[in-house]
A and B are shown apart, each in its own frame.
Chain A
Amino acid sequence: MDRAPQNGVVILGSGLGGYTLARELRKLDAQVSITIVTADGGESYSKPMLSAAFAQGKDALSLMQKSPGQMAEDLKATILARHRVAAIRRDAKTVVIRRPDGDEMELGYGRLVLALGADPRPYVAEGSETAGLRTVNDLDDYAAWRAALSPGARVLLVGAGLIGSEFANDLAGAGFCVAVVDPAPWPLGRLLPQALGEEMAKALGEAGISFHLGRSVTRWSMGRAELDDGSAIAYDQALSAIGLIPRTRLASEAGLVVERGIKVDGSLATSDPAIFAMGDCAETPAGLLPFILPLMAEAKALAATLAGCETPLKLPALPVVVKTPALPMVVCPPAPGAVGDWVMEGAGRDRKALFVSPQGKALGFALSGARVNERQSLAKEMPDLL
């Protein structure tokens, strides 16, 4: 049996979470053995670029920043790409791995880190299994999606949240004919106040995107989606971006505490002190945080902890840039359940919205157009997440 040294760190996942952690850990500890096991190809790439790469003419290959071989060298780590973890055996401190040839092997760990990411939420409606509905959540998906699109194709996008809006803008910019369906009354419905959401809808509309807001698809057939108002949309390709579900199966089968994500404490430890979780699969004391900035903070804190200096996670407010060139936007939403009102400043495209509590404290913000450059100074005034 293949065994990593007893104190070795085994990281499951080579996304921004797994690779950033490995990089930060290597900075602090030149000796510790690091093994990264990943179901995908192990290339380093920027996932946020997937929803902004089409209009720049970038294919999957040009999105690859470093090959797995290069990553292994830079990180002085062993990288097992296209190796899928099938189970965690906590009693033996091993993981069961399915190799590319289908055989199984076991790998021992001293400390194990789950950086498994999240799966796209499936869109389920009558006929959806025949609709050819795709999702783009990694480099392989992106390559397949790009290959499926012929120039000028009609694209139906389901979901006008952060990622759906970015894809819509990107695809419209690349010359596709884009229609978007979402039951919310305006794009980025959960993140933006109405006035800014409507401004976003207008800007994306001017970019050629047709919106079907307040609507959902009730019936799919190949190339045709029927909406709940009786209208129908004909499409060549359909893409769904309706949210993500943390990958928790391995953790729950191993008996770790799982709620919406894999539960971790303030030091990112799961209910087993030898196992940690971070990134999109983890549920921190501040909730699910499926964004880059919290992930970078998590990687730094966890690397220090793994290097022997227990470091609790601290999170300042984390503004997110919405990559919609039609209308640049930055959002820093208030914590879920926060009480308050949006207070607006400015007009037209260039606006600042502050979410203010009844006591007059700013708890969140959204900035659009020319005012996005107030991001840094405003973020400092927001309450910490953790």
Chain B
Amino acid sequence: MKKYVCVVCGFVYDPAVGMPEDGIPAGTPFESIPDDWECPDCGVSKSDFEVQEG
């Protein structure tokens, strides 16, 4: 599964780890996160994440 990176602050969402403290269990692909989810570090929206390259 692909990792996604916040274009503003560089926070990386890793589906293997998820965000259990935000109610997103490990193994959740980025696409399955609710649309109103926000970057936990800077608060920008889910649509401001890009696929992490490399």
Q: Which of A65, A296, A376 contacts B44 (CB 8 A)?
A: A296
Question: Contacts of B17 on A, CB cut-off 8 Å?
Answer: none
**A326 within 8 A of partner (CB):** no
Q: Which of A48, A320, A376 contacts B9 (CB 8 A)?
A: A48
- The size of the chain B interface, using a CB distance under 8 A, is 14
Residue of B nearest to A58 (CB): B10
A319–B45 Cα gap in the complex (Å)? 13
- Nearest Cβ distance between residue B33 and chain A, in whole angstroms? 13
A292–B7 Cα gap in the complex (Å)? 11
A320–B41 Cα gap in the complex (Å)? 10
Q: Check A321 against B42 for contact (C-beta < 8 Å).
A: yes
Q: Check B44 against A292 for contact (C-beta < 8 Å).
A: yes
**A46 within 8 A of partner (CB):** yes
Q: DSSP class of B's interface residues: helix, strand, loop or mixed?
A: loop
Q: Check B10 against A292 for contact (C-beta < 8 Å).
A: no
A49–B21 Cα gap in the complex (Å)? 23
- Nearest Cβ distance between residue A368 and chain B, in whole angstroms? 16
Residue of A nearest to B36 (CB): A376
A373–B43 Cα gap in the complex (Å)? 11
- Nearest Cβ distance between residue B8 and chain A, in whole angstroms? 6
A320–B43 Cα gap in the complex (Å)? 8
Q: Check B43 against A46 for contact (C-beta < 8 Å).
A: no
**B14 within 8 A of partner (CB):** no
Q: Check A296 against B9 for contact (C-beta < 8 Å).
A: no
- Nearest Cβ distance between residue A154 and chain B, in whole angstroms? 29
Residue of B nearest to A372 (CB): B40
Question: Contacts of B10 on A, CB cut-off 8 Å?
Answer: 46, 49, 65
Question: Contacts of B41 on A, CB cut-off 8 Å?
Answer: 321
Q: Check A373 against B8 for contact (C-beta < 8 Å).
A: no
Interface flags for B14-54 (1: CB within 8 Å of A; 0: not) read 00000001100000000000001010011111001000000
Question: Contacts of B43 on A, CB cut-off 8 Å?
Answer: 292-293, 319-321, 375
Known contacts A373-B21, A375-B43: does B38 contact A46 (CB below 8 Å)? no
A16–B9 Cα gap in the complex (Å)? 11
A48–B22 Cα gap in the complex (Å)? 23
- Nearest Cβ distance between residue A310 and chain B, in whole angstroms? 21
Q: Check B21 against A46 for contact (C-beta < 8 Å).
A: no
- Nearest Cβ distance between residue B53 and chain A, in whole angstroms? 10
Question: Contacts of B45 on A, CB cut-off 8 Å?
Answer: 296
Residue of B nearest to A318 (CB): B43
Q: Check A376 against B38 for contact (C-beta < 8 Å).
A: yes
Question: Contacts of B7 on A, CB cut-off 8 Å?
Answer: 20, 23, 65
Q: Check A48 against B21 for contact (C-beta < 8 Å).
A: no
Could you list 14 A-B pairs, sorted by A, with CB under 8 Å?
Answer: A16-B8, A46-B8, A48-B8, A48-B42, A49-B9, A292-B8, A292-B42, A292-B44, A293-B44, A296-B8, A320-B43, A321-B41, A375-B43, A376-B38
Known: A293-B44, A296-B48. 20 other contacts (CB 8 A): A16-B8, A23-B7, A46-B9, A48-B8, A49-B9, A49-B10, A65-B7, A65-B10, A292-B8, A292-B42, A292-B43, A292-B44, A296-B8, A296-B44, A320-B43, A321-B42, A373-B22, A375-B43, A376-B36, A376-B38
